[in-house]
Every structure is written in structure tokens, then in C-alpha cells.
Amino acid sequence: MAKPSRKPTPTPKRPVPPTPAGTALTALPAFFTNIRLQSLLLFGFAFLLYANTLTHGFVQDDAIVITDNMFTKQGIKGIPGILGKDTFFGFFKVEGKETLVSGGRYRPLTLVLFATLYEVAGGNPLVFHLITVLLFALTGVALYRTLLLLLQGRQQAPLVAWIATLLFVAHPIHTEVAANIKGCDEVVTLLGSLGALYFTLKYFDTKRLAWAAAAAAVFFFACLSKENAATFVVVTPLALWFFRPASAGQSIRASLPVWGAFLVFFLIRGSILHWKFGAAPMELMNNPFLKIQGDHWVAFGFGEKLATIVFTLGKYIQLLFVPYPLTHDYYPRYIGLKSFADAGVLLSLAAYGFLVWYALSGIVRRDPVRFGILFFLLTISIVSNLVFPVGTNMGERFAFMPSAGFCLAVAALLVRGANWRAALGIAGAGALLFSVMTLLRNPVWVSNESLFFTDVKTSVNSAKINNACGGVLFEKAQKEKDTAKQQDMFRQSFNYANQALKIYPNYKDALLTRAGSQFYLKNFDGSVADYRAAAQLAAGDPKPRNYLALALREGGKYYGEQKGDLVKAMKFLAEAWQINPKDAETARLLGVANGVQNKHAEALQWFSKAVELAPDNASYLFDLGTAYFLTGDPVKGEACRRKAVELDPKVLEEKGKR
């Protein structure tokens, strides 16, 4: 006997909250409800806003992912290396160095994109910038379409989505992401995360598994671009709970494709990076929460670290409302050590306390403002240094994803508090101001020199940017032909490196820059001291020791020939030889120094070593011949001189001038 059929009990639908009073938008022109037209206009607006970056070069961290990355420069052949290693390995090229930033980084997707572009276009930055700007514009469209779907059924949805996207696209805090090619990782992460949310909403609305599969796929790619996509594991079910008639359990079940994609990524990442998470390094440029105590570095106290993070979080809010001044460099000590007695910390704490209270106390209203706030809080958390160390205090690129929540909250507030004309007027004025600021900021990213020397005026207390400016000037000075200009550049380079070392005394790169500047300024005592300090800090790196040997050699030559200080000259040359006993020029100079002091036997030994190391050097042979004459062996002396002349007939003229 057949069992009687039972009709499934329908899930009670939660009514969509009505549009608040005073916000009726029935008179909204059809122009704003034409989704295809608005998508095209927003895409075009975003592209035109960053079109002035297309002629820029490779800048800042582009070296890490493109120009100095061995895998990227191999093109398609480098893709297996990109997929199988930490993201930084292709830049450092040495096992272990890529984990300098705590936890390592596995972000292969954009590097695969760059390698493909390198295969096609080589080192032409135009192609890379074009793709970056196109992806940014596409992300704007994805935000617009996702917000429309998220808010569907709400009378204010078209205007809220349009204003939020307009502000997002125009916001100048995004210049670091859109004007810098490396920023593609942030762009693709948000693009994929928004795509995952959009497809999950489609899946919930239609129950079609194809949408679930699409959500999982695009979210997996978002995770492969950058790890902060992980926040959408929470954002996605929260969005369903807010804007669909779904219980918490239903929201979670509909989000399972996203969760599954993240789990797959997490397992792959762990296997590639060998499950290394690690503690923050005791090195200031990769861990801003360090301070000098006595003569060594120690970690901030818990209260100091928390206060500094809270202050930094407040800086993000300030830059979202008032994006000025902007800088690419927030490294130590742009933000100094803070305590809870600091007014800025207390103000930031109050601001975040209010945001949390406002969002949670009225969460049952499920309105766009509160969702925008929660979106901001969730996505900023992962780059705040509260969850895990990010290697610096903050970065404007870290605000890219959270700013979408900020723009949604602002747009919803504008629509709630005014009629559509007033809302458009306020939003339009803000977008116009933001656009002008963006257009003026973009040219700063044209080159490292432009970027560094512009932003050092803002990041005065950053050791990193001061050292970067010193490095740029040092390289330019080495190529300068005008002696006066060259010396001035070396002095400026010294000053910038010196400022960096005042902030971070153990900064190896700054020590090398300051040492090099002093070398060319003939301040050999200072140069030797800095190279020696750098060599001690980098025991496994032979370069500082080689530079030290060169500075000692040239210092010995300078003090002997220019200052007549043979004691100091001998001291410098002896140490240079101890470091590099295979340098023929050091041996020759020791021969000269001994010869000048009438120590002819010792001079003969040193000239013999010089010739042994460089047997084809005519000058060294001639000097050896002279030493033989002075020690009473004219036969060998004449033989050496004759051989020297055979090697280089001009040697007689050169020695005669001496």
C-alpha cells in the first residue's frame, strides 16, 4: 500500500526590512536602474581614472614578483617553480630567506599571470599595467553587481550599490593597488571573493549546483592570490543571514562550497610551505613590534603592542575618510611605540568600540549600514597584526578589501538620510574630490625615484624609505660624470642613510649605503666602521666583508699616498690582506708601503705575491723588477722589467711619470 505523500513544510521566510521612512526612491531615474549601462560606465570610469599609470615603469615591490623574480622571468617554464615554492623564493633564490616574513607566503596566482605576461611581452611594463588597471575596473563592476544582488528587493538597492561602487573606484587610498603592478594580488583577491559571494547568493536563490561550483572555483583562485580572502569564509554566511530569508544554519550550509574551497587551499598551502607558521622575526624591517632595551632588541610588551595596533587601526579609518597624506611606506618608525595613555590610541579605541556596539546592538535589523561595518571589521582584522604578523605596521593596500564595506556603509547612510538627489549630490562631490586626488597621486608611482622622494616627506620617520632614498642617490652618483654633482649626491645619500640608522641602528642595508657614500667621499674611517658593522650583522653574506676589504685597501692607499700616514696605511692594508689574501692590488700596495720605509726584503715578498696572483699585469712585474734591483739582484730585476715591457710597452712611460 502506497504511503500518502507528505508536502514539505516550507521554511518561513523572514520579511525583507522595509525602506526606512524618508528614503523613498520611486522617483529615481531609469538611468540608475539600467544595470548593463551602469556596469559599462563604472568600468570605463575606473579605467580612465588609472589610464595615466599605463606608461609607468616597474616600481617598488614589482622587483619581488617580476623584475628580480627568477621564476617570473622564465615565463611559462617558471610556473612549476611558482606553484611549488613560497612566493618570495623566486626573489631571494636561497632556501630559507623566503620565510623572513613570519608564516611564509603562498600567493602563486598573480605570479603565474605575470610569468605568462612575461612570456608574451617580456619586460614591457605597459602590458603589466594595462592588465592591472583592467582587473581593477572589473573589480569595480563585480562590487556593483554583487551589491545589487545582495540588496535585491530593497527599494534603495540601485542607488546604494551605485554610490558605494563610485566611491570605491574613486578612492585615492587604492592608488597603491591599482598604480602598482604588484597590487594585482589584492585586486584579484577581492575580485574572486566578491565573485564567490555573488555566486553563493545565486546558489541560495536558485538552488542550482552550478552556482555552488562557480563559487568554490572563484574563491579557490582568490585564496591563491592572497590569504586575506579567508575572511570571506565568515563574510559570505553573514551576508546570507543579513539579506536572505535564511537561518544561521541555512546560511552556513549555503556557504559550504566556499568553506570547502578554502580548506583545499589551506591544505595545499600547508604542504607547500611545510606547515611553517613560525614566530615573528627579531628584525625591525619585518617585525615593527620591537624596541631597543640596553644594547639589544626585545619585543614590545603586550600592552604596548596592543596599543600600537589600536592606534594603527584608527589610522585606517582616518585615511578612509580623509585620504591625505598618502604614502607607500608605513614601516618603523612611521608609527612609533604607543601606550593606552596616548590620546590617539584612546580615540581609535572609542571609534572601534562604537562601530562594534552599533553593528551588534542593532544586528537584528539587518540593514546595509551594519553589514558594511561588519564587513569592514572582519576584513581589516586579518591585516591588523591581531590575527598574525603582517611584517609592517600597516599599508594602504591592506585597506583595499575593507574599503568595500566602508563604501557600502557610507552609501547606505547617505541614502537613508536624504532624498536621492541630495544623496547623489553629496556622493558626487565626494567622488569628484577623490578622483582629483587619485589623478594627482598616480604620477608619483611612475618610478622608484619619484615614489621614494615624494613619500619620504610624509614617512619622515621610516627607516626603510630613508634608506631607499639613500640607495637611489648612491646609484645615481656612481653614474654621474660631474665631480661636484657626484660629491653632492654622495653627501645626500649619506644623510638619508644616516637618518635611517638613527631610527634603526642595526639596519644592514643602510650601513652599506652609508659606508659606500663615505667610501667615495674618502671618509675611509667611517666607511670601514660601517662595512665592519654590516659584516658582523650578515655573517653568512660575503659581500659586506668584500666591501670592507676594498675600503681598507683604498683607505690604506689614501692614507699612504695622500696623507703620508704610513702607520695607518700599513694597518689598513694588513687587515685588508687578512680578509682577502687573494687580492693582488693589496699585495702591491703593501710592497710599496714597505719599500717606502726601505724594507726592501719585505717589499720584494709582497711584489712577488702580487705577480703570483696577477702574472699578466705589467705594472706589477715592473715593480717586482725594481724590488729586485733594490735588493741587489739586477739580473732578475732586468728580466722582470723586460717581460713587463713585452706585456705592455706603455709601462715605461707610466712608471716614468710616477
- pLDDT score for 2: 42
Q: At what angle do helices 108-121 and 125-150 cross, to 10 degrees?
A: 140
- pLDDT score for 381: 97
Where does the pLDDT of residue 21 fall: very low under 50, low under 70, confident under 90, or very high at 90 and above?
very low
Where does the pLDDT of residue 18 fall: very low under 50, low under 70, confident under 90, or very high at 90 and above?
very low
CB 408 within 8 A of CB 147: yes
Where does the pLDDT of residue 463 fall: very low under 50, low under 70, confident under 90, or very high at 90 and above?
very high
> Residue 656 above 90 pLDDT?
no
Where does the pLDDT of residue 301 fall: very low under 50, low under 70, confident under 90, or very high at 90 and above?
very high
In single-letter form, the type of residue at position 514 comes to R
Quick check: helix, strand or coil at residue 121?
helix
How far apart, in Å, are the Cα atoms of 36 and each of 33, 41, 81, 83, 86? 9, 9, 41, 37, 40
Q: What cell numbers appear for 600 in the block? A: 726592501
Quick check: helix, strand or coil at residue 239?
helix
Residue 576: closest CA among 562, 598, 558: 558
Overall average pLDDT of the 612-628 stretch: 94
Q: Is the dihedral of CA 112, 287, 465, 547 positive or negative?
A: negative
Give the whole-angstrom CA distance, residue 190 versus residue 225: 9
**If you search the block for the grid coordinates 595545499, which residue do you land on?**
268
Work out the end-to-end distance of the chain between its first and last CA atoms, rounded to an integer number of angstroms.
121
**If you search the block for the grid coordinates 544554519, which residue do you land on?**
249
Q: Domains, the chain, ranges and CATH?
A: 32-290+299-442 (no CATH), 462-580 (1.25.40.10), 598-658 (1.25.40.10)
pLDDT digits (tens, 9 = 90+) for 53-97: 999 999 999 999 999 999 999 999 999 999 999 999 999 887 766
Give the count of beta carbons closer than 10 Å to the beta carbon of residue 100.
15
Give the count of beta carbons closer than 10 Å to the beta carbon of residue 179.
26
DSSP labels, 153-211 = T-TTHHHHHHHHHHHHHH-GGGHHHHSSGGGHHHHHHHHHHHHHHHHHHHHHHH--HHH
How far apart, in Å, are the Cα atoms of 223 and each of 108, 146, 185, 268, 374? 10, 19, 10, 11, 21
CA 379 to chain centre: 19
pLDDT digits (tens, 9 = 90+) for 524-575: 999 999 999 999 998 888 999 999 999 999 999 999 999 999 999 999 999 9
pTM, rounded to two decimals:
0.91
- pLDDT score for 16: 46
Overall average pLDDT of the 315-333 stretch: 97
Give the whole-angstrom CA distance, residue 194 versus residue 201: 11
The most distant pair of C-alpha atoms in the chain lies apart, rounded to whole Å, by 129
pLDDT digits (tens, 9 = 90+) for 190-238: 999 999 999 999 999 999 999 999 999 999 999 999 999 999 999 999 9
Overall average pLDDT of the 371-385 stretch: 97
**If you search the block for the grid coordinates 703620508, which residue do you land on?**
564
Residues 6+ apart with CB under 8 A from 436: none
Q: What average pLDDT is seen over the chain?
A: 93
Give the whole-angstrom CA distance, residue 622 versus residue 640: 6
- pLDDT score for 6: 44
Exposure of 136 in the CB half-sphere (CA atoms within 13 A): 33
Overall average pLDDT of the 640-645 stretch: 93
- pLDDT score for 589: 97
Residue 299 DSSP symbol:
E
Quick check: helix, strand or coil at residue 291?
strand
Q: Is the dihedral of CA 610, 611, 613, 615 positive or negative?
A: positive
Lowest mean pLDDT among 13-22, 259-268, 420-429: 13-22
